Structure 1
Amino acid sequence: MENRCRIRNWLRRFGVQISFFYLGLGLAIILILSGTIYFFTASLLMNEMVSKTHDLLELSGNNIATYIARVKGESDVFANSPVLRQYLEENDESLRPVLMSDIEQLLKNDDCKKSIVVVSKDGRILSNEENLDMSVSEDMMKEDWYMESIHNTMPVLTGARMQSFSPDKDNWVISVSTEITDSAGENRGVLLMDMEYGVVEEHLRSLDVGREGYVFLVNDKGELVYHKDTGFFTSPEKKEQLLTLLAEGDRYDKKKNLLVYQTEIENTGWILVGVVSLDTLKMLEQQLLEVVLFVGALLFGAVILLGILFTRRLAVPMADLEKGMGEIEKLAEISVRKHSFQEAEILAENYNKMIFRIRGLMKEIAQKEETLHQAQLNALVSQINPHFLYNTLDTIVWMAEFNDSAKVIALTKSLAAFFRLSLNGGRELVTAADELEHVRQYLYIQKERYGDKLSYEIRVPEEFLDYTVPKIILQPIVENSIYHGIKPMEGLGRILVTAQEEGEYLIFMVEDNGAGFNPASPKDGRCVRKGSVGLKNVEERLKLYYGQDCGVSIVSSPGAGCTVKLMLKKHVVHRETE
């Protein structure tokens, strides 16, 4: 529990809270800025990668389209050659060498061309390759592949020099067909230009599709034209996967980190679909995250350093103020360190002004309390003197009534000595010798009044006589013993005044063999505690002079007399009334 309180108090300290505030604020700002920069930059990278991928796919598609267009152009030129038309119309074999020379030249101009085949309407074949296995007849208009070649001018994936598709990739070709017509527009034959399948791979090889990426081509009939994995050509399930990707269109699969983009290739009827694994983007994002974290850590370290410096500059003056205010009872002025905040300096200056003012007020209060203290003592003494004077004059009157002039004279002299000692030049402190002489004169007066009923004795060591004590402290006690102890009793009364010392204290004792009482009983103790004005005044005066540890104590019991102790300090000490 104590540790929890200590931790709670530590957390509530100004320096700790301001440190946590700046650290939290700095961390929040760094996280917000870092997150914003990271996501903004990552978005830019993503857009850049997508744009670059789109451009590359478009470029590859355009390259394929350009190549196919060039092949078609060459095919159209050769198909419209007058020599070729004459050869097909007139069946002039003398033109074969010329045409073969043209075919060889076309093949020589493009290494990717596999073969060039001319098939006439009546089934004749003109080609750079021999022993072609092709389905021909005298009426080619009845052959399905021939009719398809006439009507389909788009490039077609097929087996090389074969009309049936072969699973052997090395024999695959891209075939472009062109119808050969005469001047009247009637069909005279078909020109087939076969390009190696690798020409497509050559144009798509430069694409960076990532570790898990790939590209594929499909024609307008949904048939697969190109995929690096030949298993997709024979597996219906895999074909279905590709067609699903084609149907979904352009998209980004964040979970698999795959970008799907498709573009149409002009003059081919093909659609190029790129499934790009953005490995580079992933790597760049990772590097970006590491850089952002590193820079964020550096900034956070800088925030911590600046926060410590700023907090110390603010907290140290506050600690000085706290330390000074914690010792306010010393009324010491506070000095804050140089180069602190202006507010702290102003606060310290105002605090010092307050301390200066408090010092003046306390000095003024002390002077007023001293005056009040003296006035209280004088008031207490003034309460005692009239009371005793009344009792003494009553005794003198009593003696005068019996015409005992000698005793009246002696008693009057004793009374004069008593009041001389009471006044004591206006001083409140007297020697123990004067105080004992004062009570001796009082007992003499009372002895004359009570006669043999009262006897007294004063036994005080001489070494105590030089101590200073408040005046008129023993007489009220002796008076109380006479009036409340000896007067009510039957028989002779005796009063003994003694003194002793205990450490720093001087103790006077007044003992009597009077009636006694029970101090614990409110009824019996009322006369002593509240009924005797003199006894009460002595108690208050001793506490005013010496403090609460000094005063009057009573030991008594019914029929066993009473002992009153007055505890003083050996030297007079003025203290504030508690």
Structure 2
Amino acid sequence: MKRKSLAYKVSLYVFTIMVIFLVGIGGFYYAMASQIIVDMTEKNTKQVLDRVNHDLSSYLERLRQSTYALSNNESIRSYMLHETTENKNTSLEIIHTFLKTDSQFLSIVLITKDGRVLSNLDSMDMSLSKNMMEEEWYTEAIKQKGVAVLTSMKRKQDNKEIQVISMTQDIHDEKGENIGVLRMDVSSDSIDDYLQQLNLQDNGELFIVDQTNRILYQSANQTEEVRHNLSEIMRIKETEMGYMNGQYTYVQSNKLGKSTWELVAVVPLSELKDVQLHLLVAFSLSGIFIFVVTGGVLLILIRKWTRPLKELQQTMHQIEHGDYSARAVIQGSEEVQDLSLYFNRMLDEINRLLEGIKEKERDIRYFELQALTSQINPHFLYNTLDTIIWMAEFNDSQKVVSMTKALAQFFRLSLNAGNELMTLENEFDHIRQYLFIQKQRYEEQLEYEITLLEKCKDIKVPRLILQPIVENAIYHGIKGLDRKGMIRVFMTETDTHYGITIEDNGRGIKQTTKDMTSHKRLGGVGLQNVDERLRLYYGQPYKMDIVSQENTYTAITLWLPKNQNL
């Protein structure tokens, strides 16, 4: 899984905290603003209801006083006890006069105990009076014994059914015995006029109910939702105030003065929904704006703060890939500067330690090479002296002199004034002296050919790298051969390496395996020593190739890298 950068992680944490903070703050103010609107709606609705309740109660109290005054009028009481033409006309005159005082008064009806009816309405007769005496409003007025009773009913007027408010009161004689009932009908428009003051918003509902929760009056804009929730509205009405429909409909009730009626207002909080939506949009847009602006600024700052760490990381990658000279730039905050400073000091100390290790490795390599060289020199000397002894036994003084001069030159070049490195020109001269000595021994059985590239004469190489290979070619390839032996030493060149090849036409190496290590092992100690020495000097770029065919030839090529002049 791909690792996340420090800038990414810090940005993610900061932005997450910002989102949580903005959502939390926005939600808090959103809820607080919504509650303020609810509280204001409750307060305003209560204030309006209280005012309308006061006005409407005053109006109903005036109606009660009017019915009380009429019920105690001597002429009307006289008519109720005993009808005469005079008291009847006087009572009608009083009724008409009273109706003129208020245009909302529709009718006044007197119903005697014996079933007589007197009213400003000509349509009421005795047949109707029996029905009226059986109606609830009539019986209720009798029960209240002199206390006016407020009721609501529907009646026909001009062939239309209208809603009226009726105030009924029992009329009794001096002994307190019932002698009839007075009923005053008032148009419901009078109540509508008072209720116009109540601002219930566009879809507000208004009810007037009695003590049995029977609806006596309701506003004209009743919605389907309210009709379906009438029982819920009446339940909330019992607690004076409350909510329904998920807190989006407010219900409040007030008792109308001394009556048994209650004024119930149902206020849909559509304003709350609108404000909540506006607040949600406003907080969302504000949050997005703050998030984008603040987030952008923080992102720039985070990248600025983490850039030194990023550059320090890149410096570490450079060092990881071998660039030990790379150093961190001292920049950024105090902590990052200290980190870069201590990192650079650590690198300097590591480089110092590495140089010390390299120096020790060079010393170790030098002593190893010296040890390998010391293994070769006694071997050279033994083989060379063996040849001279062989020639001296035959008293061939001229050849002994030539051999001795060649041996002297051979050892002069071998010692190389104590230097471990020698030029290729001297290295080739060294094997030339060696082959001259061996030629004296093997005579016609051995021929040799040495070719050095002119431009390579001054190239320095570890001393004594060719003589052991040539020696192996003689002793393991040419010696005992039933045909003339030929040793060729020559150079080749590629774009990256110089090749020195020692080739013989001897017995070859038995091909038991193609593994190069096995070939080197079969080539003897000398070949392995040369390979180890050159590998210590040149490292990985150096390589040795061995190509051989049994009873045909062997060719050994040393590939020396061009870019590592010693």
- Quote the Cα distance in structure 2 between the aligned partners of 1:451 and 1:149: 165
Distance in structure 1 (CA, Å) of the matches to 2:222 and 2:409 = 143
Are 1:545 and 2:537 counterparts?
yes
Task: Indicate whether 1:454 and 2:450 are aligned.
Answer: no
1:92-241 matched pairs, under 5 angstroms: 110-116=102-108, 129=120, 131=122, 133-135=124-126, 143-144=133-134, 149-152=141-144, 153-158=148-153, 168-170=160-162, 172-220=163-211, 223-229=214-220
Instruction: Give the 3-state SS of the residue equivalent to 2:168 in structure 1.
Output: strand
CA change 1:272–1:17 in 2 (3 A) is same
What residue identity is the alignment partner of 1:76?
Y
CA distance in 1 between counterparts of 2:182 and 2:551 reads 158
> Structure 1 residues 511, 56: closer, same or farther in 2, change over 3 A?
same
CA contact (8 A) 1:512 1:562 kept: yes
1:299 to 285, 290, 293: 290
Distance 1:322 1:372, change over 3 A: same
Counterpart check, 1:481 vs 2:481:
no
Query: Alpha-carbon deviation of 1:229?
Result: 4.7
Aligned position for 1:381: 373
Displacement of 1:422 in angstroms is 0.6
**Counterpart in the other structure of 2:299:** 308
Matching residue within 533, 536, 549 for 2:528:
536
- The farther-off stretch of 477-486 and 547-556 is 547-556
Relative to structure 2, which stretch is displaced further, 429-438 or 210-219? Answer: 210-219
The within-5 A match list for 1:129-528 is: 129=120, 131=122, 133-135=124-126, 143-144=133-134, 149-152=141-144, 153-158=148-153, 168-170=160-162, 172-220=163-211, 223-229=214-220, 244=231, 248-250=235-237, 252-254=243-245, 257-328=248-319, 329-330=322-323, 331-335=325-329, 337=331, 340-399=332-391, 408=400, 410-460=402-452, 464-503=456-495, 505-519=497-511, 521=513
Query: 1:147 deviation in Å?
Result: 5.6
SS at 1:327 equivalent: helix
Cα distance 1:202–1:398, how it changes in 2: closer, same or farther (>3 A)? same
Work out the CA distance in 1 between the residues paired with 2:221 and 2:228: 14
Residue 157 of structure 1 contacts residue 225 of structure 1 at CA under 8 Å; is this kept in 2?
A: yes
1:67 partnered with 2:59: yes
Distance 1:135 1:512 in 2: 159
Structure 1 segments unaligned to the other structure (5+ residues):
1-7
Q: Could you give the per-residue CA deviations for residues 257-287 of structure 1, whole angstroms, max 9, x where no partner exists?
A: 5444444434333243333333222222222
Give the conservation status (yes or no) of the 8 Å contact 1:83–1:95: yes
- After TM superposition, the structure 1 stretch with the greater mean CA deviation from structure 2, 27-36 or 418-427, is 27-36
SS in 2 for 1:473: coil
- Deviation string 1:297-341 (CA, Å, 9 cap, x unpaired) is 22222332233133223332232222222222323112254xx34
Cα distance change, pair 107–373 in 1 and its aligned pair in 2 (3 A): same
Assess if the C-alpha contact under 8 Å between 2:330 and 2:341 holds in 1.
Answer: no
Aligned residues of 1:518 and 1:525 also touching (Cα < 8 A): no
SS in 2 for 1:67: helix
Q: Provide the C-alpha distance between the structure 2 equivalents of 1:239 and 1:424, rounded to a whole number of angstroms.
A: 120
Distance 1:228 1:501 in 2: 114
Contact 1:158 1:165 in 2 (8 A): no
Cα distance change, pair 94–191 in 1 and its aligned pair in 2 (3 A): same
Superposition deviation, residue 425 in structure 1: 0.9
Distance 1:365 1:385 in 2: 30
* Partner-residue secondary structure (3-state), 2:149: coil
- Please state how far the C-alpha of 1:54 moved relative to its aligned partner: 4.8
Kept in 1: contact 2:117–2:126 (CA 8 A): no
Q: Across the two proteins, how many residue pairs are aligned to each other?
A: 554
State the distance in 2 between where 1:144 and 1:525 align.
134
Indicate the percent of aligned positions where both proteins have the same amino acid. Answer: 33
Instruction: State the AA in 2 paired with 1:156.
Output: T
Q: Which runs of 5+ in 2 are unaligned?
A: none
**In the alignment, does 2:557 pair up with 1:557?**
no
The CA distance in 2 between the partners of 1:204 and 1:67, in whole Å, is 12
CA distance in 2, matches of 1:118, 1:523: 140
Bigger drift between 358-367 and 92-101 goes to 92-101
AA paired with 1:334? A
Paired letter, 2:346: M
Name the structure 2 match of 1:4.
Answer: none
Q: Does 1:38 align with 2:26?
A: no
Give the Å deviation of 1:482.
1.1
Give the letter for the 1:436 counterpart: F
CA–CA distance in structure 1, aligned partners of residues 380 and 456 of structure 2:
26
- Contact 1:215–1:273, Cα closer than 8 Å, also in 2: yes
Give secondary structure in 2 for the equivalent of 1:72.
helix
Tell me how far apart the structure 1 counterparts of residues 178 and 275 of structure 2 sit (CA, whole Å). Answer: 59
Q: Would you say the 8 A contact 2:541–2:561 is kept in 1?
A: no
Kept in 1: contact 2:213–2:234 (CA 8 A): no
Q: Distance in 1 between matches of 2:103 and 2:501?
A: 142
Query: What's the CA shift for 1:423?
Result: 0.8
The 1:510/1:90 distance shift into structure 2, 3 A limit, reads: closer
What CA deviation, in whole Å up to 9, does each residue of 1:182-204 have, x standing for no partner?
Answer: 44334455444332221222222
TM-score by length of 2: 0.81
Q: Secondary structure at the match of 2:297?
A: helix
- 1:38 partner SS: helix
Q: Distance in 2 between matches of 1:245 and 1:67?
A: 30
TM-score when normalising by structure 1: 0.80
1:243, distance to aligned residue in structure 2 (A): 6.4
Using the TM superposition, give the Cα deviation of residue 123 of structure 1 relative to its aligned residue in structure 2, in angstroms: 7.3
**Equivalent position of 2:7 in the other structure:** 15
CA contact 2:116–2:126 (8 Å) conserved in 1: no
Give the AA of the match of 1:155.
L
Relative distance call for 1:519 and 1:205 in structure 2 (3 A) is: same
Cα displacement string for residues 337-378 of structure 1 (whole angstroms, at most 9, x for unaligned residues): 4xx344333332222222222322233233233333333332
> In structure 2, what is the Cα distance between the partners aligned to 1:65 and 1:228?
18
